[in-house]
Structure 1
Amino acid sequence: MDLRDYLRVLTRRWCAITALTLLGTAAGALVTYTAVPEYRADAKLFVRLQGGTDADTAQLAQGSLFTQARVQSYAEVASSPLVTRHVVKTLKLGMSPTQLSRRISATVQPDTVLLRLSVTDTRPKRAARISNAVAERFAEVVRNLERPVSAYESPVRLSVTEPAAVPSAPISPRPAVNLALGLLAGLAVGVGFALVREALDTTVRSTQALTEFLAGYGGPSVLGSIVYDSQATTHSVAARDDMHGLRAENFRQLRTSLQFVDVDRPPKVIAVTSPLSGEGKSSVAVNLAATLAETGASVCLVDTDLRRPSTARTLGLVRDAGLTTALIGQAEVEQVLQSAGSFSVLTSGSVPPNPTELLGSTQLTTVLHALAEKFDHVVVDTAPVLPVADASVIASAVDGYLLVVRASRTSRAQVAEALRALRHVGASVLGTVLNMASSKEEHGTYGYAYEYRPQTHAPSRFTRWGGLVRGGRPAPSTGTAPALPTPGGERDVQVAGAEEAPDDAPSPVTAERSAQR
């Protein structure tokens, strides 16, 4: 992974990183709020040797070196029981000598004979009182320790040069430091969490990731990606509900890619499947059929998912009479075909008790061949590949499979296993489609579709999309546009002021820009 990949990971996981950073900052604030303030009082002492008045310079220098060497040992005596026991008894403190020793610290300034005694306490006045008492007792203990047995006075003398004063502000907690540490700790945990999640994530998240995986696996190419749309469940046919929307343009790109899969033998009967259920294969099949019908071709959508059929429910059609009705000979195929506007649909029919055996029969091959002779394109919605063998048994009756992979859900292992299962039965995989892709994962290229929508306030020479005729002059407005005829002779649902235009027809935005140049 390079720097851009790391930045992409952090951008994708920004919610988790932000949440953990805020959590760390909140923890720092909680520690600051709940901590008991502590105050520190400092007292300074000067250590020197006592000598005669006739001491020369050499003796003074030697005494100074002796004092600097000894003062390091004096610092350890400050918190000894000889000092703490007397201070606790004298000040009548509500703590033991051991507890007091934990609050005392002694530091020596380098290359000096100055010693600093520090005492921390929850009360500022008591901290100063204890610090001064410790300094006095400490000086007395050191003098006694350094006094020879036969001598009256000690050669070492400690003097308090700066008594402890009552501290004005606590030394802890420190709000700014705690908040900064909490923020940095939360940010570090968030970044680490994002990187670990990315390392453990085996799903396919983007077209680039799917392309790289299939290239290394020796699999088919990626024919397109369909952006995630929260309204896809209510707007089942993207080209009909929002003909210039993002999903509609994605399916048109998929249609174009299919035209270049095999130029010499273009696939006519295309099966749409997925590794597992819930990956949007039925939605892709419905919209692929609708997009193929936009070109004026006759299209039939066949629902061969005999375990969990959904095409009839999605398009609002009758499910009881359909494919299974024709397979068992209760009706002819033409009798159970239904219209979905611009394309025909052969629903699943009643759910049989033996779907795999029924789909593997020669009767299904006969039905699909008959539909292939009548229609320009036949789109077959099949069951998932991995849970059941229904999708594999119809391999001989279709020209190829289109494998739907759901972004951020389907793992690489599942994609590889699905391709292996299809290849095992000799099926031809035309390509893959990344469904429910994130626009951010696709590097923002989906934004072009929104920018290139037809203008709603077009010039007067353009009435509506359906009002542009050959020669660049507007057609008379009739209020409704003629609908596309279906293979059975029915006319599509009337859409006020809108008519499907060929892919090579200029959009109002393109024509207007050309006129301005």
Structure 2
Amino acid sequence: MSSSPDVPARRSGGDLADYVSLLRRRRLIVLSMLLAGTGGGLALLWATPASYTASAQVLVTPAGPQEQVNQVTARQREPLNLDTEAQIARSAVVAARARGLFGGLSGPAEVSVPPNTSVLEISCTAAAPATAASCADAYALAYLAQRRESSTQTLTAQLKAVLVKLKQVNASLTTVATTLPGLGNGTAERALALQRQNVLLRQVHALTARYDALRTVAVTPGSVISRPVAPTEPRAPRPPLYLGSGLMTGLLCGVGCAWIRDRLDTTLRDTADVRRLTGLEAVDDEGLRGLGGAVLVVSVPGTPPREVRRAARALRERGVPVAGTLLTGGAFSPSAVQSPHTPRADGIVPSGRTVAGGRRGRLP
């Protein structure tokens, strides 16, 4: 049989039962794609090398004067700018120091800042657990060494600047002190010299206090509060992720291929295929015998006449009375077959095959 313009073919889709029927008809395609996707996930899981991650926690403390401070917010309640410190910890300078401490660095470290803390969490990923732990430990020590060196250099530069300024003020004070005896009492020059001497004395006092304060500053870059431990399980690959991804990919590909194959397949295997592909009702052998009258074989143009005779002969062999065949000159219309004025004529059946009696056929 063939679908006609007057009777639109009913394709699967729209109802849950249609999708279930589609999956049942194309279960081999779905199962094969499902197995292929799962196998691909297993192969990718087997081919991906294992990686281990170890972490070290570093408590960052103010190391000296003029520390870069951060605005206190709901996320960061500590005065230190830990976002800047995190960037320093993953910088190339720290990486070079860490490589000097441990030459087997596999890549850059990952640095994170837990909220509301003054802690940096430094993580390293490597192919071996011991390598990952050593890498994280090397990065933590290298960061603290870099922070100590930077703070010491800053403190030394400040001490030198204060000392230079103090020497300049002392030199000016000495000059003023040597000129005072030669100035007469009550003169304006002596009054200005005395005022300048007092200002220089106050500067000397302030600079001396500043210098003494800087000399007593202790450089405390921080400390490692949690040493990295070699992990016992790999971080990647994760079997559930790979297997689940392969399973879902195979299922989606299987459903898509099944839907495309079902749309392109016009093979008639049973009466259900006739109703699904043409939208017409079909009967089997028992239904034909129970019609209570003769059967008219209707055709569409394009099929050899011998197929008409073969279809009619197959029906007669099954005990079904055949009134004749009808050749439609144009598009097939079921209403024309049901008309009481339908002429009796020899014609052609679609593709020369009929579903009645369980024979297979294919829509043209």
Q: TM-score, normalised by structure 2?
A: 0.59
Deviations 1:238-261 (A, max 9, x none): xxxxxxxxxxxx334335448266
Q: Which residue does the alignment assign to 1:115?
A: 120
Relative contact order (C-alpha < 8 Å, sep 6+): which is higher?
2
Q: TM-score, normalised by structure 1?
A: 0.43
Does structure 1 residue 150 correspond to structure 2 residue 165? no
- 1:382-461 map, 5 Å: 399=345, 401=347, 403-404=349-350, 436=359
1:399 maps to a residue whose letter is A
Identify if the C-alpha distance between structure 1 residues 210 and 290 changes in structure 2 by more than 3 Å, giving closer, same or farther.
closer
SS of residue in 2 equivalent to 1:140: helix
- 1:255-266 map, 5 Å: 255-257=289-291, 259=293
Deviations 1:27-69 (A, max 9, x none): 12112222222111111111222589xxxxxx9xxx95322xx
Does structure 1 residue 254 correspond to structure 2 residue 288? yes
SS of residue in 2 equivalent to 1:177: helix
Identify if the C-alpha distance between structure 1 residues 74 and 195 changes in structure 2 by more than 3 Å, giving closer, same or farther.
farther
Q: Are the counterparts in 1 of residues 122 and 140 from structure 2 also a CA contact under 8 Å?
A: yes
Identify if the C-alpha distance between structure 1 residues 31 and 211 changes in structure 2 by more than 3 Å, giving closer, same or farther.
closer
SS of residue in 1 equivalent to 2:222: strand
Q: Are the counterparts in 1 of residues 285 and 356 from structure 2 also a CA contact under 8 Å?
A: no
2:237 maps to a residue whose letter is P
Q: Are the counterparts in 2 of residues 139 and 157 from structure 1 also a CA contact under 8 Å?
A: yes
Q: Distance in 1 between matches of 2:38 and 2:19?
A: 24
Q: Distance in 2 between matches of 1:88 and 1:191?
A: 52
Superposition deviation, residue 213 in structure 1 = 6.6
Does structure 1 residue 136 correspond to structure 2 residue 159? no
Q: Distance in 2 between matches of 1:109 and 1:15?
A: 51
Identify if the C-alpha distance between structure 1 residues 209 and 85 changes in structure 2 by more than 3 Å, giving closer, same or farther.
same
- 1:39-438 map, 5 Å: 39-49=52-62, 65-67=78-80, 70-93=81-104, 100-101=107-108, 104-145=109-150, 148=154, 149-150=157-158, 157-198=221-262, 200-201=263-264, 203=266, 207=271, 210-211=274-275, 222-224=281-283, 250-257=284-291, 259=293, 284-292=311-319, 399=345, 401=347, 403-404=349-350, 436=359
Unmatched tracts of structure 1, length 5 or more: 53-58, 216-220, 225-249, 262-266, 298-376, 387-395, 408-430, 439-517
Deviations 1:445-502 (A, max 9, x none): xxxxxxxxxxxxxxxxxxxxxxxxxxxxxxxxxxxxxxxxxxxxxxxxxxxxxxxxxx
Q: CA RMSD in A?
A: 4.3
Superposition deviation, residue 110 in structure 1 = 1.5
Superposition deviation, residue 142 in structure 1 = 3.1
Q: Are the counterparts in 1 of residues 324 and 346 from structure 2 also a CA contact under 8 Å?
A: no
Deviations 1:121-164 (A, max 9, x none): 11221221111111000122234445634167687622100111
Q: Distance in 1 between matches of 2:357 and 2:302?
A: 12
Q: Distance in 2 between matches of 1:213 and 1:256?
A: 24
Identify if the C-alpha distance between structure 1 residues 284 and 146 changes in structure 2 by more than 3 Å, giving closer, same or farther.
farther
Superposition deviation, residue 117 in structure 1 = 0.9
Q: Which of 31, 40, 51 is the equivalent residue of 1:18?
A: 31
